[in-house]
A and B are shown apart, each in its own frame.
Chain A
Amino acid sequence: MRESLRVSVGQHSLAGEHGTNQDFHGAVLPTGAQLAAKGVVLAIADGIGSSEVSHLASQTAVGAFLEDYYATSEAWTVRRAAQRVLGATNAWLHGQTMRSDGRFDKDRGYVCTFSALVLKGRQIHLLHVGDSRIYRLHAHSLEQLTKDHRIHHAADESYLARALGIGPHVEIDYLSWEAEVGEVYLLATDGACAQLDAVSVHQAIAEYEDDLDAAAARLVEHARAVGSDDATLQLLRIDTLPEGDGLESRRRREGLVLPQLLAPRMEFEGFAIVRELQVSARSHVWLATDLESGRPVVLKTPSIDLRDDDAYLDSFVLEEWVARRVDNPHVIKAWPGSRRREALYVAMEYIEGQTLAQWMVDHPSPPLDLVRPIIEQLALGLQALHSRDMLHRDLRPENVMIDHAGTVKLIDLASVCVGGLTEGLEMTDAGAPPGTLQYMAPECLLGETASPSADLFALATISYQMLSGQLPYGLESARVRTPRDLRRLRYVPLRHLRPELPAWVDGVIGKALHVMPGKRQEAVSEFIHDLRAPSASFQRVQRRLPLVERDPVLFWKVLSVLLALTVVALVFHISVAP
């Protein structure tokens, strides 16, 4: 039996002397799939004492976070999901502040501190703004993990520098590391922090080992006995952690058998196999009919060669997972059925049409107007992935289908990297990075992890290849092994192969193909925009180029004429000389 994530949580809160408790706290301990996808969350907030509505702010902040965080996409990383949710909460609180008396005096607005701890897989994530604190308990000390956003400008005067609800935007501190079994974390508001020390926490936990709520209550009472402020404390003890290879896809793959070899007219898992589309050492792809709905479907089964490769088999589960989550006309859809499966296979929609590779064969030297819509649709598909924290990682002409209506779709999502699934997992890809070397951004060959910028490189390589029929760096970019190789790469300007194209096209594509990811366009959308409406800088750069680069033919013609004149002059000189 695989170990799963188990934690013990204890929490307690007491109002201060002034009566209303402006602190708020909450924890969610989901089970099953949600635990694996989103993890455990503890959140604590403390409203500012000067405001009469700040208890509403703290309730809203904690309540909204606990609810909305679990509603975000499973594909998102914790950081992205949490920051999005907090950004929205902050905007709402700020809006309330601006609609109340708080707009004249922020001390009376909907303002609160906020600290949250998310434990997902084996990874701890902290989100923090304000002066509540998160501690880690050690044998003899409490380690404060968060920084107080409080500015002291006199001995006894200080104010909150950052909190939710003060401004329209808020900067949230984020920290993350791998958790260990047995660790204890504490979340506390400032009222509970004052008298907190490691000895008393150890004592409380030792006394109430099975009831951390009681332990928290004791610590809070202790704090209230000496202080006058609201005091709230949460305790989290990590009892067990999932195993390191907690890949969601591996869990889902368990219990599925490897399918037998398919053949035409065979019945397989409720599908009738029609014919083979492609059988290669990577996968077997078949056209089939869904016997229930009668609709065509494409089935992909593992190849014999790679049946022992775990990472490869994981990609089978992942491919459909991704396709189900990305709803975009430019990304292939998963088969909508939900029959129980016995075997491991991928079922996808059937796209009638041709691959981009075939399109390139059919359209050598196409005009820019024919290429642009294809690249733009491809970019839309990529953007749909990128906005969900996914990277395609294997963009190549064979993985792009163009249907009869001219719609371009990304297929083969087997190499997609999903931020929310892989965060906190150690990537032990000792071998080559996934993808096709010819289209891979050279920095990935030097061991850098893929980024949206690498997908942009692949997209630009395809654009270059569609226009010129060649690769921008030949095969040299695939042979990069050292940073020196990288510096030696020479981009073959597109204008040398297609001189009739506008010069700025070369500038735009060349920028996206820069060997340094930092010098490419920042996003796919910027590349597409440049390809439609190039900024003036691309045209200026063009004019600054030396003549030999800009128009080699003219350069050599002029040079030849000059040489010819020199020869004539020399001949003349010799013949008139005595």
Chain B
Amino acid sequence: MAYLAPAEFVTKMIDAGESKLLMSTRDTLIRSYMAGAILALAAAFAVTVTVNTGNPLIGAILFPVGFCMLYLLGFDLLTGVFTLAPLAVLDKRPGATWRAVWRNWSLVFTGNFAGAITVALFMAIIFTNGFSEPPNGVGEKIGHIGEGRTVGYAAHGAAGMLTLFVRAVMCNWMVSTGVVAAMMSTTVSGKVIAMWMPIMVFFYMGFEHSIVNMYLFPSGLMLGGDFTFMDYMIWNEIPTVIGNLVGGLTFVGATLYSTHYKTGAKRKVG
């Protein structure tokens, strides 16, 4: 049977969250670095497809390959650990504390960021022939994506910030649904199909994903985008991270935990 009952996959979610807290620093960094890099590469790929075909839908349809790859390889994204790690604390797993969750989030953030920046640098080299000529069409496009989604929000002030935040919430609602959906199935094909749908939705809708943005914006800065690093941090990355956290935790983690997972005071295990 390829589909798990909800009670089973919710315990799997908690187990997965617990294992994130128990992961050594080295493993956490390596896994998050690789996840950031692969997702960044997928973002570069999707933008290339969009520019070359002129149709953003095709880019969005193909973007989930990166997510599927990194999930199947067992790498961790910040958006995923936002949803999973706190479940171990909610379920009172031994030793699980908010401090351990915070540690995990910080390490995964660092790893994701380093991975995404690495790919941003590599892709910038490719788009500009080793910085020897102006960026090509795709490079040009990436350079300008960043502008609308930083100074563009800033132009609307508080309303812009609200929009940014809500887009970030919606994003991780979708992405974490993908992470959880992958746990429902026991087969690789089942996992891939389950992940594909929500990831495609978020990418086409232009929701704000903190790790995708860790690639797009530094890349944009390298390719001559007209915004500053502080614009990126304040008018994109930081609100996106917070929005992703809220979206993953409230709409996915906490909801599934509270409806599907029963904590009986008198649990008898044979």
Interface residues of B (CB under 8 A from A): 1, 3-5, 7-9, 11-12, 15, 19, 21-27, 92-96, 100, 186, 264-270
**Chain A residues bordering chain B, tally (CB within 8 A):** 50
Q: What are 13 A-B residue pairs whose CB atoms fall within 8 Å in the complex?
A: A261-B5, A277-B269, A304-B3, A305-B9, A348-B270, A349-B270, A350-B268, A355-B267, A355-B268, A438-B94, A439-B94, A475-B22, A479-B24
Rounded to whole Å, the gap between the CB of B37 and the closest CB of chain A is 22
Q: Would A411 and B270 be within 8 Å (CB), given that A281-B11, A304-B4 are in contact?
A: yes
- In angstroms, Cα B241 to Cα A257, docked, is 48
Scoring B11, B100, B264 by chain A CB atoms within 10 A of each residue's CB, the highest score goes to B11
Query: Does A363 belong to the interface (CB within 8 Å)?
Result: no
Q: Would A279 and B5 be within 8 Å (CB), given that A308-B186, A411-B269, A479-B22 are in contact?
A: yes
**Residues in A whose Cβ lies below 8 Å from that of B95:** 438, 470-471, 474-475, 478
Rounded to whole Å, the gap between the CB of B219 and the closest CB of chain A is 34
Chain B binder among A32-40, A223-231, A243-251, A295-303? A295-303
Contact of A475 among B26, B92, B100, B186 (CB under 8 A): B100
Query: Do A481 and B27 touch across chains, with their CB atoms under 8 A apart?
Result: yes
- In angstroms, Cα B3 to Cα A307, docked, is 12
Contacts A304-B5, A438-B95 known; 16 new A-B pairs at CB < 8 A: A278-B264, A280-B7, A285-B269, A307-B1, A332-B270, A349-B270, A354-B265, A412-B270, A437-B22, A438-B22, A465-B94, A471-B94, A474-B95, A475-B100, A479-B23, A485-B24
Query: Do A481 and B24 touch across chains, with their CB atoms under 8 A apart?
Result: yes
Query: Do A282 and B11 touch across chains, with their CB atoms under 8 A apart?
Result: yes
Q: Would A280 and B11 be within 8 Å (CB), given that A287-B268, A332-B270, A358-B265 are in contact?
A: yes
Rounded to whole Å, the gap between the CB of A476 and the closest CB of chain B is 9
Residue in chain A with minimal CB distance to B9: A281
Residue in chain A with minimal CB distance to B186: A305
- In angstroms, Cα B169 to Cα A550, docked, is 50
**Residues in B whose Cβ lies below 8 Å from that of A361:** 92
Query: Does A314 belong to the interface (CB within 8 Å)?
Result: no
Residue in chain A with minimal CB distance to B23: A479
Rounded to whole Å, the gap between the CB of A219 and the closest CB of chain B is 58
Query: Do A277 and B268 touch across chains, with their CB atoms under 8 A apart?
Result: yes
Rounded to whole Å, the gap between the CB of B230 and the closest CB of chain A is 36
Query: Does A401 belong to the interface (CB within 8 Å)?
Result: yes
Majority secondary structure of chain B interface residues (helix, strand, loop or mixed): loop
Contact of B269 among A412, A474, A479 (CB under 8 A): A412
Rounded to whole Å, the gap between the CB of A209 and the closest CB of chain B is 53
Chain B binder among A58-66, A185-193, A392-400, A565-573? A392-400
Residue in chain A with minimal CB distance to B267: A278
Query: Do A280 and B8 touch across chains, with their CB atoms under 8 A apart?
Result: yes
- In angstroms, Cα B5 to Cα A298, docked, is 21
Q: Would A277 and B270 be within 8 Å (CB), given that A396-B94, A475-B21, A479-B24 are in contact?
A: yes
Query: Does A351 belong to the interface (CB within 8 Å)?
Result: yes
- In angstroms, Cα B92 to Cα A355, docked, is 14
Query: Do A279 and B267 touch across chains, with their CB atoms under 8 A apart?
Result: no
- In angstroms, Cα B269 to Cα A348, docked, is 10
Query: Does A448 belong to the interface (CB within 8 Å)?
Result: no
Scoring A350, A396, A438 by chain B CB atoms within 10 A of each residue's CB, the highest score goes to A438
* A:334-365 near B, CB below 8 Å: 346, 348-355, 358, 361
Q: What does the 1/0 interface line of A243-275 toward B look like (CB < 8 Å)?
A: 000000000000000000100000000000000
* A:501-556 near B, CB below 8 Å: none
- In angstroms, Cα B9 to Cα A278, docked, is 13
Scoring B24, B92, B269 by chain A CB atoms within 10 A of each residue's CB, the highest score goes to B269
Query: Do B270 and A304 touch across chains, with their CB atoms under 8 A apart?
Result: no
* A:359-399 near B, CB below 8 Å: 361, 396-399
Q: Would A304 and B1 be within 8 Å (CB), given that A412-B269, A478-B22 are in contact?
A: yes
Residue in chain B with minimal CB distance to A479: B24
- In angstroms, Cα B23 to Cα A437, docked, is 10
Query: Do B94 and A278 touch across chains, with their CB atoms under 8 A apart?
Result: no
* A:400-441 near B, CB below 8 Å: 401, 411-412, 436-439
- In angstroms, Cα B19 to Cα A471, docked, is 16
Query: Do B269 and A281 touch across chains, with their CB atoms under 8 A apart?
Result: no
Query: Do A300 and B186 touch across chains, with their CB atoms under 8 A apart?
Result: no
Rounded to whole Å, the gap between the CB of B252 and the closest CB of chain A is 17
Query: Do B5 and A350 touch across chains, with their CB atoms under 8 A apart?
Result: no
**Residues in B whose Cβ lies below 8 Å from that of A481:** 24, 26-27
- In angstroms, Cα B22 to Cα A354, docked, is 27
Q: Would A279 and B8 be within 8 Å (CB), given that A305-B186, A465-B94, A481-B26 are in contact?
A: yes
Rounded to whole Å, the gap between the CB of A232 and the closest CB of chain B is 53
Query: Do A352 and B268 touch across chains, with their CB atoms under 8 A apart?
Result: yes
Q: Would A355 and B269 be within 8 Å (CB), given that A397-B94, A438-B94 are in contact?
A: yes
- In angstroms, Cα B4 to Cα A363, docked, is 36
* A:233-247 near B, CB below 8 Å: none
Rounded to whole Å, the gap between the CB of A311 and the closest CB of chain B is 16
- In angstroms, Cα B265 to Cα A471, docked, is 22
Rounded to whole Å, the gap between the CB of B226 and the closest CB of chain A is 44
* A:147-163 near B, CB below 8 Å: none
Query: Do B24 and A305 touch across chains, with their CB atoms under 8 A apart?
Result: no
**Residues in B whose Cβ lies below 8 Å from that of A304:** 1, 3-5, 8, 186
**Residues in B whose Cβ lies below 8 Å from that of A479:** 22-25
Rounded to whole Å, the gap between the CB of A280 and the closest CB of chain B is 4
Rounded to whole Å, the gap between the CB of B265 and the closest CB of chain A is 6
Query: Do B269 and A399 touch across chains, with their CB atoms under 8 A apart?
Result: yes
Scoring B8, B21, B27, B270 by chain A CB atoms within 10 A of each residue's CB, the highest score goes to B270
Residue in chain B with minimal CB distance to A299: B270
- In angstroms, Cα B25 to Cα A475, docked, is 12
Rounded to whole Å, the gap between the CB of A353 and the closest CB of chain B is 8
Query: Do B270 and A298 touch across chains, with their CB atoms under 8 A apart?
Result: yes
- In angstroms, Cα B4 to Cα A436, docked, is 23
Contact of A305 among B4, B23, B27, B92 (CB under 8 A): B4
**Residues in A whose Cβ lies below 8 Å from that of B93:** 438
- In angstroms, Cα B100 to Cα A478, docked, is 12
